[in-house]
Amino acid sequence: MVSGAAIFDEGDPEKGKALFISNCSSCHKIDKDFQAPALAGVESRWKSTDAMLVKWINDPVAALATGDAYVKGIVDRYKPQYGMMTGQPVTEAEIKDILAYVRSGGSKDKVVTKECITLEDMNAAATEKNSGSTTAWWLVIGVILAIIAVSAANISRSLRNAISEREGKPLMSEDRTYWQATRAWMWKNVVLVSLISLFLFLYVSVVGYKALLNIGVYEQYTPSQPIAFSHAVHVCANEIDCQYCHSSASKSKHAGLPTAADCMNCHKAVQTGTETDSVEIQKIYDAIGFDKKKMAYNDSLAKGPIVWNKVHNLPDHVTFPHNVHVSIAGIDCKQCHGPVQMLTVGRQASIEEINAQTDVPGLIKLTKQTLTMGWCLECHNTATVNIEPGKTSNEYYLEMHDRMVNSDHGLEELRKILADEKATVRELGGWECGKCHY
């Protein structure tokens, strides 16, 4: 019955692996049904000729058209559930390699992903190194010293009273309170007290001012999220582009969050996570109503959208257009969002983290805290725009350049702008209120 031992006998599983991944893996898995039936055991199942198998793989429609009974059988059986297979442009030799790989049961060794260290790991390591907070120790020492000082003062008073009693001098009045005593002491050392007070006043003012400046600054804000989504796994290990998930960043003022359907593009296949097994991924299935066992959508299971907590909050009176920065300025996401690939759940990067990045070409290092207006303005004061012919081919900026060149007054302005041989965003109006506030 086995007519063509040849096609199932030969082949190089190593070559086959690469071919399988590029041609078959989007629908077939070896050990289980996926978008199409599992392939394991195909060599014993195939009840037609080798040539028909090659034809089937290359052009399923043509294979069906030959009227082959087995092919018709599998089409009848699987088409209602999976649809018609798409023909793959592979040679007979390649098919042999693929089948050899399928027979080998696929690669047993786990996919080696890139080594990705998260900021949490780094921070945890840092905390371990200098464990114990110095402030706490200072506090404890301070309290002990204060107790000693008060006790000493009491002892000193008792002793002095004892001496006075012996010498027949009037006692330091017993009913003099600590407050009166302190006041008396303060009057005696008025210069010292004044200096200390002045120092304290200045200290409190400076600390208070800094604290007030920090109102509304949420660097390192890391709200809890309904899904323990790891950017490290997606961005660093699997090298998924930011805009694959945040797809409206180039088109809209909002970067957008991926929809559950977007997640399903991969997670229909990737059902087990590297860190949380299937617990977190199951939440996506719950949201969209996906029955993992049947590999089918079932609306009655859908619980509705995933409610995330927003990480980067701007006040309502600010308009930040992502598309302007992504599509026109071509700014790297990391310029503002920092090393997101080193994060698990989203977090507002601090300016130090952003500046510490080494993998961002043309990173502009800024000093102000992130998501503050000062930070925006600082960048607008530094970032440059190509407005000169030769530097840009964007007709908008060329026209802007022309307008200035073609009027005397404008030429003056252009010289001012280009005095430092560059045109900053600020010089082109990037510091104006109406650009962002309306």
Residues that bind other proteins (CB under 8 A): 215-216, 218, 221, 223, 248, 251-254, 256-262, 287-288, 302, 304-310, 313, 315-317, 319, 321, 323-324, 327-328, 393-397, 399-400, 403-404, 406-407, 409-410, 413, 428-429, 432-435, 437-438
C-beta closer to other proteins: residue 161 or 386: 386
Q: DSSP characters for 397-424?
A: HHHHHHHHHTSHHHHHHHHHHGGGS--B
Amino acid identity of residue 288, one-letter, is: I
Q: What angle do CA 223, 224, 226 make, to 5 degrees?
A: 135
Closest distance of CB 93 from other proteins, Å: 41
Structure tokens at 50: 């080798």
Closest distance of CB 272 from other proteins, Å: 22
Closest distance of CB 312 from other proteins, Å: 10
C-beta closer to other proteins: residue 41 or 374: 374
Backbone angles phi, psi at 84, to 5 degrees: -80, 140
C-beta closer to other proteins: residue 73 or 305: 305
Closest distance of CB 112 from other proteins, Å: 32
C-beta closer to other proteins: residue 52 or 385: 385
Closest distance of CB 295 from other proteins, Å: 17
Strands 296-297, 290-291: parallel, antiparallel or unpaired by DSSP?
A: antiparallel
C-beta closer to other proteins: residue 236 or 414: 414
Amino acid identity of residue 36, one-letter, is: A
C-beta closer to other proteins: residue 19 or 371: 371
C-beta closer to other proteins: residue 76 or 399: 399
Give the single-character DSSP code of 370.
Answer: T
Rounded to a whole number of angstroms, the distance between the first and last alpha carbons of the chain is 78
* DSSP H or E segment with residue 13: helix 13-23
Closest distance of CB 347 from other proteins, Å: 12
C-beta closer to other proteins: residue 248 or 350: 248
Largest Cα–Cα distance in the chain? 130
Question: For residues 428 and 394, is the Cβ–Cβ distance under 8 A?
Answer: no
Closest distance of CB 323 from other proteins, Å: 6
- Helix (H), strand (E), coil (C) string for 146-202: HHHHHHHHHHHHHHHHHHHHHHCCCCCCCCCCHHHHHHHHHHHCHHHHHHHHHHHHH
C-beta closer to other proteins: residue 102 or 284: 284
Closest distance of CB 254 from other proteins, Å: 4
Closest CA to 290 of 267, 306, 258: 267
Closest distance of CB 139 from other proteins, Å: 22
How far is the C-alpha of 215 from the C-alpha of 120, rounded, in Å?
25
Name the 3-class secondary structure at 392. Answer: strand
* Cα distances (angstroms) measured from residue 205 to each of 4, 118, 194, 208, 209: 89, 38, 16, 5, 6
Closest distance of CB 293 from other proteins, Å: 20
Structure tokens at 307: 């409610």
C-beta closer to other proteins: residue 187 or 438: 438
Closest CA to 99 of 16, 188, 197: 16
How far is the C-alpha of 152 from the C-alpha of 158, rounded, in Å?
10
